[in-house]
Amino acid sequence: MIPNQDVEITKDLIAEHGINDEEYAKILELLGREPSYTELGIFSAMWNEHCSYKSSKLWLKTLPTTGERVIHGPGENAGVVDIGDGQAVVFKMESHNHPSYIEPYQGAATGVGGILRDVFTMGARPIAAMNALRFGAPSHEKTRHLVSGVVEGVGGYGNSFGVPTVGGEVEFDPRYNGNILVNAFAAGLADADKIFLCAAKGVGLPIVYLGAKTGRDGVGGATMASAEFGDDIEEKRPTVQVGDPFTEKCLLEACLELMQTGAVIAIQDMGAAGLTCSAVEMGAQGNLGVELYLDDVPTREENMSAYEMMLSESQERMLMVLDPDKEDVAKAIFEKWELDFAIVGKTTDDLRFRVIHGGTEVANMPIKELGDEAPEYDRPRSEYPAPPALGDIPSGIDANQALLTLVGNENGASRRWVWEQYDTLIQGNSVQIPGGDAGVVRVEGADGKKALAFSVDVTPRYCEANPREGGKQAVAECWRNLSAVGALPLASTDNLNFGNPEKPEIMEQFAQSILGIGDACRALDFPIVSGNVSLYNETNGIGILPTPAIGGVGLMADWSKMMTLDFKNEGDVILLIGKNGSHLGQSALLRDVVGRIEGDAPEVDLDEEAKNGAFVRGLIDDELLTASHDLSDGGLAVALAEMSIKGNLGATVEATSDVETLFGEDQARYCITANSANIDSIKARAKDLGVTISELGTVGGDTLKIGDAISLKIDEIRAAHESWFPDFMAQEAAE
Amino acid sequence: MKSAVILFPGLNRDRDMLAALEKITGHKPHAIWHGDAELPKVDLVVVPGGFSYGDYLRAGAIAARSPALAEVKKHADAGGLTLGVCNGFQILTEAGLLPGALMRNRDLKFLCKTIHLKAENTTSAFTNQYAEQPVFPCPIAHHDGNYTIDPDGLKQLQDNDQIAFRYCDADGNVTQAANPNGSIDDIAGILNAKGNVLGMMPHPENLIEKAHGGNEGRFIVESLVEAVA
């Protein structure tokens, strides 16, 4: 008997699958009959928010996705961008938020595994990883446990797989108390003419299953990721997958070996909604039908139903269409790496998705409507409320104390505790590791000089105050971080984390953020080539801060010219690129020192951003600088403090001592240093290009002095900066 | 100098090691898949780092019992030079080619950072090029690097000059504070009694050129070149 075949399709069952009345009516119309239980599961898996992008597609279409260097934009497993010499960088970012809250280690680990698979599925060897993590307030009872588990999970998977983690973000805010964010980025290197895609080609060709066996883990995971959390969260633990980086490493090597042989016609990894999503995408994108024989699927549990097999999210699995003439070559490679493989289906010419189990057809559905013609909504939006006006800033703020707070609290302190748990050095190409503006990795197979730079950024409090400017700012800061190390920003990926899109205010927030991202990507020639949307990040009705994380990739012709942020030499001159600080709305100072969250987000002048970035890159390329750092949270004072700590050198800066100058978060700004002999030519270049530049002071001594407001020993600033994270995490052991 | 690198599924610093050996010696090393029983005739056999067989059971335990390791053992028993780095060190201890064992790091966390090493023995086949500059910064990346051995075994290592490297601070002071993983006697790498097998947790293969911020890792292979010349 086939399990579950006689399940009655009730109203409750339909609702449990996240399918609304309108969608169910569409299902009845498409099938011309009531769906089977398995079919209901398949519809639910394909039409949920996570897989179908039904609420977001309309807005995603407004983003710029093409460019001179873009080989493949969104729609594939990852974006592909030309980096010259016949090489391409393949990259994407993806969320694993809901699973990581329920089971932090496995949730984070499989998030990393999933994004790595997206990259090597396209024929690229992963060369860099990053992650953007957001947790609740440090005082929240779950935070420490979640930080510990997520960081260990990210490291556990990435370290074992063997990819260097070169960048990332960690942020704490009470708005993530019930819904943390785990966004994982991966980039790989491929030959530009050997990119593998998921669209099946050719009728009657075998569909091959490769990798780990299928179990019951993760059944319904994508549907879970498309709903808000309630108090029943503990019951959702079985929907979290379990990762096995060892199998994934074997899968990587086997896939890359197999791709060399020319046997692979199409390939798709099994991520969200597992076998269902991968098989449907292969067929739908290739305009072919697919027939699957579930009795041939390798399973690790007995008596699995068709429903479970189709919705399992067991990790480390691939589906491919192979050239039948090269089946023996393929088999030898799978056996060498001791991976399960089986022919589990074939392509057909009838555009139907058929699933056969125990000799019975358990699903027969139109493949296009499941896949690329899934429902799409223009969800209602309402006017977005303006943030509370910025009140008077209290006089008498102790700037020394404020600086120590901003570099030493949960959001300003060093993330060393986190990134020292990640292998940042494996592959031997990491020329800049976390702790700077961007991670930089040397590119193998070229002239030995070429390198890629990576950064991931977003300032959620800006997005909440002003979604359009916040969206712009996320892109601008990422672009600026790449420029600050001397890399030409090439392209980006977005990971859009928002609350419930069925609330008109959230939908407006989402739409405005995307419009802002689009504005900035167009102005900065920084197309979005891949991405992921994570909605319904709410618990018991409270949404997260809007968090559209932007991951960017930049190209550097010669890594030996790369800039770092640490002060290098006594006597170097410090310069500010961009205007003097003035904007305190939504600033870190206002939130963390004054204790108020008010005002508008800083305005992003994209022309100025483009001009200043190009100016800094030019100086770096001509080897005129000794250090460079972008200005962001905490403004000028925090940037100078970071440059001092890392370089173990102080500075004397003659700035006016008002809090706006010290801590304002105006955009499009960099702090640079140069040998005094180069200052005149740097200033002359700035004048020619119309770039605002001002001389701030000189590097030297063991104290950071800014005007008459700040005078702190480097050791004292460092102690504040380095101690918060280890101290906070050590309390776990003490409890 | 001819070399071979043994490959097990799950290793991941194999490519780093192959590249480093080629850059230092000018010769492409043999890459030997564990299933291929024959070991070519070479001067040096290297077991590189990573997570062989996922570190399931215990780090290095499964690889140590493979037919390929029996071949490595034959090579070492015949006096052949053998180097195990990180997971390779764990495999060599599991296989009995080196005494002692590697346990979880003191803080129970994976740790990747640049620490300082002091070459304590500067006369062995592996370390003779460190005499002039015994203290150097070197990267580590491991979860199970906490070396331990029984008191008699430790005394033997000390008396027989088998401690190749210890963790130290930038000035060369060997202290517990400078020891990243809590290893006994601050040990980072050891030699066997005959001096032809070296196991170490740090990664000299990630310290061979300007892009790595230093080239002191080369000295191990350069010592060997000197020794076999």
Mean pLDDT computed over A164-191: 97
pLDDT of residue A232: 60
Contact A420 B113 (CB under 8 A): yes
Q: Are B33 and A442 in contact (CB under 8 A)?
A: no
Contact A428 B55 (CB under 8 A): no
Considering only alpha carbons, which residue of chain B is nearest residue A726? B107
Q: How far, in whole angstroms, is CA A389 from its chain's centroid?
A: 32
Secondary structure in 3-state letters for A489-541? EEEEEEEEECCCCCCHHHHHHHHHHHHHHHHHHHHCCCCEEEEEEECCCEECC
C-alpha distance from B67 to closest chain A C-alpha (Å): 15
- Is B86 a known active-site residue? yes
C-alpha distance from A564 to closest chain B C-alpha (Å): 13
Considering only alpha carbons, which residue of chain B is nearest residue A434? B113
3-class secondary-structure state, position A249: helix
Angle separating helix axes A714-734 and A143-161, nearest 10 degrees: 100
pLDDT of residue A243: 85
3-class secondary-structure state, position A257: helix
Q: Based on the number of CB atoms within 10 Å of its own CB, is A321 exposed (0-12), middle (13-18) or buried (19 or more)? A: buried
pLDDT of residue A732: 62
CA distances (Å), origin A312, targets A155, A158, A238, A239, A300:
25, 23, 11, 9, 12
Interface test with chain A among B8, B24, B51, by most A beta carbons within 10 Å: B51
Q: Which residues contact B205 (CB under 8 A, 6 or more apart)?
A: A428, B13, B16, B17, B19, B20, B21, B48, B85, B217
Distance, in Å, from the CA atom of A648 to the CA atom of A239, rounded to the nearest integer, reads 48
pLDDT tens-place string over residues B88-110: 999 999 999 999 999 999 999 99
Q: Residue A238: phi, psi to the nearest 5?
A: -65, -15
C-alpha distance from B14 to closest chain A C-alpha (Å): 9
Distance, in Å, from the CA atom of B18 to the CA atom of B27, rounded to the nearest integer, reads 10
Residue A440 identity (one-letter amino acid): V
B109 and A CB contact within 8 Å: yes
Q: Residue A92: phi, psi to the nearest 5?
A: -165, 160
Give the number of C-alpha atoms closer than 13 A to the C-alpha of residue B194, restricted to the C-beta side: 11
Contact A428 B19 (CB under 8 A): yes
Least confident of A266-275, A504-513, A594-603, B42-51: A266-275
Contact B54 A244 (CB under 8 A): yes
pLDDT of residue A220: 67
Partnered with residue B33 across adjacent β-strands are B7
pLDDT of residue A238: 61
Residue B162 identity (one-letter amino acid): Q
B41 and A CB contact within 8 Å: no
C-alpha distance from B127 to closest chain A C-alpha (Å): 22
What share of chain A has pLDDT > 90, as a percent?
A: 84
Partnered with residue B146 across adjacent β-strands are B103
Contact B210 A424 (CB under 8 A): no
Partner residue opposite B112 with nearest CB, options A156, A160, A425? A425
Contacts of B211 in chain A (CB under 8 A): 428-429, 431, 442, 559
Contacts of A253 in chain B (CB under 8 A): 9
**Average pLDDT taken over every residue of chain B:** 96
Q: Which residues contact A111 (CB under 8 A, 6 or more apart)?
A: A94, A95, A96, A99, A100, A153, A154, A182, A183, A184
B54 and A CB contact within 8 Å: yes
Distance, in Å, from the CA atom of A657 to the CA atom of A644, rounded to the nearest integer, reads 19
Considering only alpha carbons, which residue of chain A is nearest residue B55? A246
C-alpha distance from B97 to closest chain A C-alpha (Å): 24
Contact B10 A249 (CB under 8 A): yes
C-alpha distance from A707 to closest chain B C-alpha (Å): 35
Q: How far, in whole angstroms, is CA A88 from its chain's centroid?
A: 19
Partner residue opposite B211 with nearest CB, options A420, A426, A429? A429
pLDDT of residue A679: 98
Distance, in Å, from the CA atom of A88 to the CA atom of A452, rounded to the nearest integer, reads 11
pLDDT tens-place string over residues A287-343: 999 999 999 999 988 889 999 999 998 889 999 999 999 989 999 999 999 998 899
CA distances (Å), origin B61, targets B45, B64, B142, B184:
19, 5, 16, 21
**Length of chain A, please?**
735
DSSP state of A278: H
Say which of B30, B34, B142, B203 is annotated catalytic: B203
Give the sign of the dihedral formed by CA A644, CA A553, CA A460, CA A610: positive
Secondary structure in 3-state letters for A152-187? HHHHHHHHHHCCCEEEEEEEECHHHCCCCEEEEEEE
**Average pLDDT taken over every residue of chain A:** 94
Q: Are A533 and A60 in contact (CB under 8 A)?
A: yes
Partnered with residue A548 across adjacent β-strands are A496
Q: Which residue has the higher pLDDT, A314 or A574?
A: A574
- A8: pLDDT confidence band, cut at 50, 70 and 90? confident
- Is B120 a known active-site residue? no
Distance, in Å, from the CA atom of A147 to the CA atom of A170, rounded to the nearest integer, reads 9
Partner residue opposite A425 with nearest CB, options B10, B20, B206? B206
CA distances (Å), origin A252, targets A120, A502, B55:
7, 39, 18
CATH number attached to the domain at B3-228 = 3.40.50.880
Tell me the domain boundaries of chain B.
3-228
CA distances (Å), origin A675, targets A126, A571, A580, A625, B127:
38, 7, 22, 7, 40
Give the number of C-alpha atoms closer than 13 A to the C-alpha of residue A499, restricted to the C-beta side: 23
Mean pLDDT computed over B79-96: 97
Pairing state of beta strands B44-47 and B30-33? unpaired
pLDDT of residue A237: 55
Token representation of residue A145: 């446990």
Considering only alpha carbons, which residue of chain B is nearest residue A155? B110
Contact A425 B203 (CB under 8 A): yes
Token representation of residue A190: 């491929």
Distance, in Å, from the CA atom of A373 to the CA atom of A46, rounded to the nearest integer, reads 11
User: How many Cβ pairs within 8 Å bridge chains A and B?
Assistant: 79
pLDDT tens-place string over residues A670-705: 999 999 999 999 999 999 999 999 999 999 999 999
Q: Are A44 and A368 in contact (CB under 8 A)?
A: no
- Helix runs in A299-456, H state only: 306-311, 327-336, 367-370, 399-408, 416-419
**Residue of A394, A353, A340, A307 lying closest to A6 (CA atoms):** A307
**Length of chain B, please?**
229
Residue with tokens 């900066």: A721
pLDDT tens-place string over residues A26-75: 999 999 999 999 999 999 989 988 888 899 999 999 999 999 999 999 98
Distance, in Å, from the CA atom of A395 to the CA atom of A404, rounded to the nearest integer, reads 18
Contact B109 A421 (CB under 8 A): yes
Distance, in Å, from the CA atom of A96 to the CA atom of A102, rounded to the nearest integer, reads 11
Secondary structure in 3-state letters for A25-85? HHHHHHHCCCCCHHHHHHHHHHHCHHHHCCCCHHHHCCCCCCCCCEEECECECCEEEECCC
Contacts of B19 in chain A (CB under 8 A): 428
CA distances (Å), origin A588, targets A215, A393, A462, A664:
47, 13, 11, 9
- Is B226 a known active-site residue? no
3-class secondary-structure state, position A89: strand
Residue A234 pLDDT > 60, yes or no?
A: no
Would the pTM count as exceeding 0.90? yes
Partner residue opposite A155 with nearest CB, options B19, B110, B113? B110
- B190: pLDDT confidence band, cut at 50, 70 and 90? very high
C-alpha distance from B35 to closest chain A C-alpha (Å): 9
How would you label A567-601 residue by residue, b for 16+ Cβ within 10 Å and e otherwise?
Answer: beeeebbbbbbbbbbebbbbbbbbbbbbeeebbbb
Residue with tokens 């331990």: B148
DSSP string spanning A605-624?
-HHHHHHHHHHHHHHHHTT-
Q: How many helices (H) and strands (E) does chain A have?
A: 25, 28
Residue A231 pLDDT > 90, yes or no?
A: no
Task: Give the residue numbers of A marked as catalytic.
Answer: 50, 96
- Compute the CA torsion angle A720, A723, A729, A730 (nearest 10 deg): -130
Mean pLDDT computed over A282-288: 93
pLDDT of residue A1: 44
- A235: pLDDT confidence band, cut at 50, 70 and 90? low
Which chain B residues in 116-175 lie under 8 Å from chain A, judged by CB atoms? 139, 141, 143
Contact B9 A424 (CB under 8 A): no
Contact B141 A161 (CB under 8 A): no
- Helix runs in A386-459, H state only: 399-408, 416-419
Contact B112 A420 (CB under 8 A): yes
E strand spans, chain B: 3-7, 30-33, 44-47, 81-85, 101-103, 111-119, 135-142, 146-148, 163-168, 187-191, 197-200
Distance, in Å, from the CA atom of B146 to the CA atom of A258, rounded to the nearest integer, reads 38
**Residue of B210, B192, B217 lying closest to B17 (CA atoms):** B217
